[in-house]
Structure 1
Amino acid sequence: MRDDLPEIMVGGVVLAAALGFIIYAGQAAGIGRSSDSYALKASFRSIEGIDVGTDLRLAGVNIGKVTGLTLNAETYRADTVVSVAHGIEIPDDSALVVSSEGLLGGNYMEIVPGGSPFYLSDGDAISDTQGAISLISLLMKFVSGQGND
């Protein structure tokens, strides 16, 4: 029995560490989290660089995530669902924009707040959207001289 004690202690530490990693992964993925957010919908012409799980920011602060992306077969637009943390009120004339972190950075969704005294609620749609701007097409226009109007 005394010979087994170190092995039992090491096994207990390994199990505790594994359980800690499982709990951390569950919290990071949002598993088991109560509904502490509300959903907003939007439709984009181009949502290049955005996936489910992409950050939603307001004034540079992460306030939610993209939770759904589908192609609307009738309008050929990308229908998007974002979740916003409860307690953050978004004016109903706000815009939802695909922004870039820089030339080599990834894209994220940004809310540009409006000035309306009325706020969006769960399930409402944001009508003012701006999709992704293709850096390659901008460079091609610049190189070919089409941007000089």
Structure 2
Amino acid sequence: MQTKAMRQRLDFAVGAFVLFAAVAVVFIALRAANLTSISADGGYLVKVRFDNIGSLVTRSPVKSAGVRVGRVKEINFINDEFVAEATLVIDKPYLFPIDSIFSIVSSNLLGGQYISIEPGSEEENVPENSTVHGNSAIVLEHLISKFLFDKAGE
């Protein structure tokens, strides 16, 4: 027979385990959605225009030297120029020279992409709310079709 005190301890242990499991599930969901590292200070906005963004999505990381320095806030199509424009939120402590190179690169073989910033050498930094041009994503399908057409032409 179980006493009332033993039953209460068992109920408490089971409740604590269920609560811990719920917190773990929420953390994993936030981590999978890239929401665990949103900074409170907001950072500053930079708009980057690309001819092709590939599979870049909002909330994709912005990295420099492999370190996350910001996020993609939104992606829009500029109808007048027929280009895509990614609005980046760069965290406040990070400043990049005005001649920095913004490129879309693949993070893994499954197609995940992020924006890489290669710092330039100018003394002037990229101003807040400025628009710069970036290097477009390399689309694997285009490379394969170009290779096949080149081989077929031989």
Match 1:131 to one of 132, 136, 144: 136
Name the counterpart of 1:62. Answer: 68
2:42/2:89 contact within 8 Å kept: no
**Which AA in structure 1 matches 2:126?**
L
Q: How far does residue 63 in structure 1 lie from its aligned partner after superposition?
A: 1.6
Cα deviation code 1:73-132 (max 9, x no counterpart): 33221111112222111111212111124665532211122211011233222x231111
Q: Would the alpha carbon gap of residues 30 and 124 (structure 1) be closer, same or farther in structure 2, given more than 3 Å must change?
A: farther
Supply the distance in 2 between the matched residues of 1:114 and 1:33 (Cα, whole angstroms): 25
Name the counterpart of 1:35. Answer: 41
Supply the distance in 1 between the matched residues of 2:69 and 2:37 (Cα, whole angstroms): 18
TM-score of the superposed pair, with normalisation by structure 1: 0.78
Q: Does 1:10 pair with 2:14?
A: yes
Name the counterpart of 1:96. Answer: 102
Q: Which runs of 5+ in 1 are unaligned?
A: none
Supply the distance in 2 between the matched residues of 1:24 and 1:139 (Cα, whole angstroms): 36
Supply the distance in 2 between the matched residues of 1:19 and 1:101 (Cα, whole angstroms): 28
**Which AA in structure 2 matches 1:134?**
V
> RMSD across aligned C-alpha pairs, in angstroms?
2.9
Q: Which runs of 5+ in 2 are unaligned?
A: none
- What's the % identity of the aligned pairs? 24
Q: Would the alpha carbon gap of residues 105 and 7 (structure 1) be closer, same or farther in structure 2, given more than 3 Å must change?
A: same
Q: Does 1:116 pair with 2:122?
A: yes
1:93/1:128 contact within 8 Å kept: no
Supply the distance in 2 between the matched residues of 1:59 and 1:31 (Cα, whole angstroms): 18
SS of the equivalent of 1:62 reads: strand
Supply the distance in 2 between the matched residues of 1:137 and 1:41 (Cα, whole angstroms): 26
Match 1:84 to one of 65, 85, 90: 90
2:103/2:134 contact within 8 Å kept: yes
